[in-house]
Amino acid sequence: MRANGVPDFPDPNPGGGGFQVSAELDRSSPAFRGAQAACHSLLPPGGPPAPGSVTHPSAHTLARLLNVAQCMRQHGVAEFPDPGTSVPRDPFGSGYGVITDYDGAVLLFPSTIDMQSQGYTQAAAACDASFLARPHH
């Protein structure tokens, strides 16, 4: 991303789990969109789906992730997303900072969630959600 015109693009989160893209980074800019298109093929298999795509997770996966989402919210991560099956055409322009794919279910994390914060990691431990802290292939 940096080599393609987004010099402030962050390093991946330690231990996996994608990138924490700050709200200050203009994800709707032509430079960001161009870099995103140029770099999408570099994502590992099982990485986030392409914008506009639809996934097909199992009912078990969706139910498990929905339980995790409810638990995370009960433990103080109010903006933790419910799982979905699609990615908006302009996910970063919509305020999302991290997009993950877990067995076909899409989680669109708002850029306001600090996945490295103590509160988030404590909630993840309490909710048996540590599997979301790393990419799942």
How does pLDDT run along the chain (137 residues), one tens digit per residue? 888 888 888 887 665 556 666 667 777 678 877 777 777 666 654 455 555 555 677 888 889 899 999 999 999 999 998 988 877 666 666 666 666 777 778 888 887 888 778 898 899 889 988 666 543 33
What's the domain count of the chain? 1
In a domain, 117, yes or no: yes
In a domain, 13, yes or no: no
Does the predicted TM-score (pTM) go above 0.75?
A: no
In a domain, 62, yes or no: yes
In a domain, 90, yes or no: yes
Q: How many CA atoms lie within 13 A of 9 on its CB side?
A: 20
Q: Which long-range contacts (CB under 8 A, 24 or more apart) does 92-97 make?
A: 92/21, 92/27, 92/28, 92/32, 92/36, 93/27, 93/28, 95/23, 97/19, 97/20, 97/21, 97/22, 97/23
Domain that holds residue 27: 2-8+18-133
